[in-house]
Amino acid sequence: MIWPELDALLEKHSSFLISSHRGLDGDCIGSQLAMYWYLTSIGKRAVVYNHDPLPTKFGFLTNAGVFSTERPGDRFDVLVVLDCSNPSRLGWERLSDMSDTIVNIDHHRDNALFGALNIVKKDGAATGQILYDYFAYKKLSYPPHVAESLYAAIMTDTGAFRFSNTSGVILRMCADLCDRGADSALIYDKVYASFSSNGLLLQSKIWSTLAFYHNGEICSMEMPYALIKDLGATYGDSEGMADFTIMGGGVEVGMLIKYNDKETHFSLRSKGRVDVGKIAASIEGGGGHSSAAGCTMTIPFAEAKAKMLAIIEKAL
Ligand SMILES: [Mn+2]
């Protein structure tokens, strides 16, 4: 049981820096807020710092204002890294300048176990699930806004309870979070149904690139990063589009390709036959889950796309 170790470490120290991966998603946001609440509730100093900003659609969450992209100038006793398989995914460097001790809490199976304490539940649906279990172990009674953060974390990493990582355990957990005050309809509405008109316009442009390969088993969509700014949209508006690439019957693998002159990023999705986590991990810096993963190639778009198509076709 690793919880007593975590207890001891959190008790012993007084200042904590909380951070997560680039391209903030619901799980990393909700988990950071839950950890921030817990640490401050036991009288600790906690600061939340991420390379990328909080997507505006998550601004409704209580304490959303603690998210900062400004690197703190001081040191912390402990760096708590949540939902992040590898320090390189933080997007910021010189971790040892910030703290000597790292606590690593995550559910990615390719987690590099880079912490002094590693709490990695590889079969977990979300990092929010791990924190839920910790709070349950502590028999904590927490306010509705913390239940809301944990619910948002688990909801987004299960694709609103549609992905195969959704289970009875997860649904019972989320039922309990609703009993504790999480408003499931409101959270769904804020996260999935609150796009700006510019955001929807961006999505329509991405949809217009829809293409199929390999007898319809591979589906792709594309977006030059510059399009976001051109349309007055935000990065968050393109988040979630990758999930649409496996909506077609007969499609096995989907990819959303985002690119600029220097690099080409792939958000990969699979219905199960192909392990896209393995494909992503075969590219340096890439990784993820068997059904959803990501990687970046530092080569131009057309070349990168052809290369990825060949890799997927081989896996099929
Ligand atoms: Mn996650």
Distance of CA 288 from the midpoint of ligand 1 (Å): 9
Q: Which CATH number describes the domain made up of 198-315? A: 3.10.310.30
At 164 the pLDDT is 85
Residue 214 CA to ligand 1 centre (angstroms): 30
Domain boundaries, given as residue ranges, for the chain: 3-192, 198-315
Cα–ligand 1 centroid distance for 21 (angstroms): 10
CA of 83 to the centre of ligand 1 (A): 5
pLDDT tens per residue, range 198-227:
999 999 999 999 999 999 999 999 999 999
**For residue range 2-45, what is the model confidence (pLDDT) as tens digits?**
999 999 999 999 999 999 999 899 999 999 999 999 999 999 99
Q: End-to-end alpha-carbon separation of the chain, Å?
A: 40
Q: Which residues does 33 contact at the CB level (< 8 Å), separation at least 6?
A: 48, 61, 62, 63, 64, 66, 146, 149
pLDDT of residue 1: 65
Rounded CA separation 29/127 (Å): 10
Mean pLDDT for 235-255 is 93
The alpha carbon of 309 and the centre of ligand 1 are apart by a number of angstroms equal to 26
CATH class of this structure's domain 3-192: alpha beta
Mean of the per-residue pLDDT values for the chain? 96
Distance 14 CA to ligand 1 centre (A): 26
Question: What value does the CA radius of gyration of the chain take, rounded to a whole number of Å?
Answer: 19
Q: If you measure from the C-alpha of residue 215 to the centroid of ligand 1, how many angstroms do you get, rounded to a whole number?
A: 32
Distance 92 CA to ligand 1 centre (A): 19
